[in-house]
Amino acid sequence: MGKASSLRAQWLGERLKKARKDAGYTLVEAAEYLQLHEATLSRFESATYAVRKSYVKDLIDFYRISDQRERDALLQLCEDAWRKDWWDGQSSDVEHEFIDYTWLESRADEICVFEPMLVHGLLQTPKYARSIIRTAEAPDVTEEQVLRLMEFRIRRQQVLDGPDPTKLSVILDETVLCRPIGPVELMKEQLSHLVNMHRRGHIQIRLLPIAHGWKPGMSGAFTLFRMPAPYSDVAFVGGLAGRTYLEHEESVQRFRRAYDGLQESALTTAETNKLIRKAIKELQ
C-alpha cells in the first residue's frame, strides 16, 4: 500500500465511495468483502492510501457496476493514481500541488487561461521562463535548481505538440506586452514567439485591452481545465497563499462564466496579432 494524496487518487476515492453508497453498502460490509479492516477502505476512499487495481476490480463486481464505461473509468482512474509520469520525478524541485496541475495539463481536452500579469508558462520561451523563475518565483534557489525548473516548464509545453495536441485558449492582459522581463532582446523574442504560436490552429491567444476598463473575472489569474470523461472539469487558482483546485460543478461554472465574459471583452485574434506585432516594433 502506497501513500496517496494526489488529485488523481482523490478522484478515484470519491468515485469508489459514491459507488459503495449507491450500492447500499457500509464501509464494514465492503471491507469484509475485501478481507480488509474498515479503516483501510476508508483510507482508500479518502485517498490517504493508493488503492491496488485488484481491489478496484473486486469492488466493481461487489458494487454490481455493470455499465462498461463506468467500470473502465474506475480502472483508468486507478492506473492514473499509481502512474509515474515524467514530471513525478521532479518533485524535489516542484511543489507537490503543481504536479497535479501538470497532470491536468496532460489530460485536458482544452486549457483555458486568464493571465493578467505574465505570459503563461505554456507560451514562455526558455529565456523568459528562466528570468521569471530567477527573479520572482524562486529567487533563493541555486542556479542548478533554476535550470531544472526552467526545463520542467519548457517540457510541459509538449502537450501542445504531436498529432493530437491539447487545445489552448489564453487571454492575456495588454499590460503583459509592455511589462519588461529581462532585456529588450528577451522581450522581442518572447513576443515573436507569441506571434508564431498564434499561427497554430489549436492555440488561441487574445488580449484584453486596457481601454476596456475593469471587467468581471479580472480579479486574478485562473485556469479552467476542460476534461474528458471520466474526469470532471477543474478550475485552478494559484497565488502566494497556495494553490486551490475546484471541482464542484457550481464552483467550476462560475469560472466558465467568468472566462466567457472575458472572451467577450477581449480583442479578436487578428486584432491581438496586430497589437503584438506593434509592441515588437516599439521595442526596436
Residue 146 has pLDDT above 50, yes or no: yes
Identical fold for domains 2-82 and 89-282, yes or no, is: no
Sheet containing 167-173: give its strands across. 203-208, 167-173, 110-115, 222-226, 234-239, 242-246
Q: In this predicted structure, what is the pLDDT of residue 93?
A: 46
Q: What is the assigned CATH class of domain 89-282?
A: alpha beta
> How confident is the model over 235-280, as pLDDT tens digits?
998 876 677 888 788 889 999 999 999 999 999 999 999 999 999 9
Residue 3 has pLDDT above 50, yes or no: no
Taking a C-beta distance cutoff of 8 angstroms, is the pair 51, 12 a contact?
yes
Strands 110-115 and 167-173: parallel
Q: In this predicted structure, what is the pLDDT of residue 88?
A: 47
What average pLDDT does range 55-62 have in this prediction? 93
pTM over 0.75: no
> Does domain 2-82 fall into CATH 1.10.260.40?
yes
Taking a C-beta distance cutoff of 8 angstroms, is the pair 92, 211 a contact?
no
Nearest to 102 by CA among 55, 157, 54: 157
Which of the two residues, 40 and 88, has the higher pLDDT score?
40
> Domain ranges in the chain?
2-82, 89-282
Q: In this predicted structure, what is the pLDDT of residue 9?
A: 78
> How confident is the model over 150-183, as pLDDT tens digits?
888 888 999 999 899 999 999 999 999 988 898 9
Which of the two residues, 34 and 94, has the higher pLDDT score?
34
Measured between alpha carbons, how far is 168 from 155 in angstroms, rounded to an integer?
Answer: 16
